[in-house]
Structure 1
Amino acid sequence: MRTLKSAKAFERVFKKGRRGRSPFVRVSVLACEGPEQPSVAFVAPKRLGNAVYRNRCKRVLREAARASGLPLLGYDVILFATDRTHDASPEELRRGLRSALAKAGVGALRGDE
Structure 2
Amino acid sequence: MAGKGAAGLRRRSEFLLVAEKGRRAAMPGVIVQALAVPEREGVRLGLTCSRKIGNAVARNRARRRLRAAARAALASARGGWDLVLVGRQATVDRPFPALCEDLAQALRRLGVT
Query: TM tier, shorter chain?
Result: 0.7 to 0.9
Please say if 1:10 is aligned against 2:15: yes
Q: Which residue is equivalent to 1:83?
A: 89
Question: Deviation of residue 20 (structure 1)?
Answer: 0.2
Residues in 2 aligned to 1:102 and 1:18: alpha-carbon distance in whole angstroms: 12
Alignment of 1:55-94 (within 5 A): 55-69=60-74, 72-94=78-100
| Unaligned 5+ runs, structure 1 | 109-113
**Given that residues 40 and 79 in structure 2 are in contact (C-alpha distance below 8 angstroms), is that contact kept between their aligned partners in structure 1?**
no
Report how many residues are paired. Answer: 107
TM normalised by structure 2 equals 0.85
Distance in 2 of aligned mates of 1:62 and 1:41: 9
Residue in structure 2 matching 1:35, options 40, 60, 63: 40
Q: What are the superposed Cα offsets for residues 8-28 of structure 1, whole Å, 9 maximum, x if unpaired?
A: 211110100000011000010
Relative distance call for 1:100 and 1:37 in structure 2 (3 A) is closer
Partner of 1:111: none
Cα distance per residue 1:37-80 (max 9 Å; x no partner): 52101111111110010000000000000011256411000001
Residue 31 (structure 2) aligned to one of 26, 29, 48: 26
1:98 aligns with 2:104: yes
In the alignment, the residues of structure 2 paired with residue 101 and residue 4 of structure 1 have an alpha-carbon distance, to the nearest angstrom, of 17
Which 10-residue stretch deviates more, 3-12 or 34-43? Answer: 34-43
What's 1:44 paired with?
49
Identity of aligned residues (%): 34
Amino acid at match of 1:17: G
- Distance (whole Å) between structure 1 residues aligned to residue 57 and residue 78 of structure 2: 28
Give unpaired runs (5+ residues) of structure 2. none
Structure 1 runs (4+) deviating above 4 angstroms are: none
Q: Judging by fraction of residues, say which structure has more helix.
A: 2
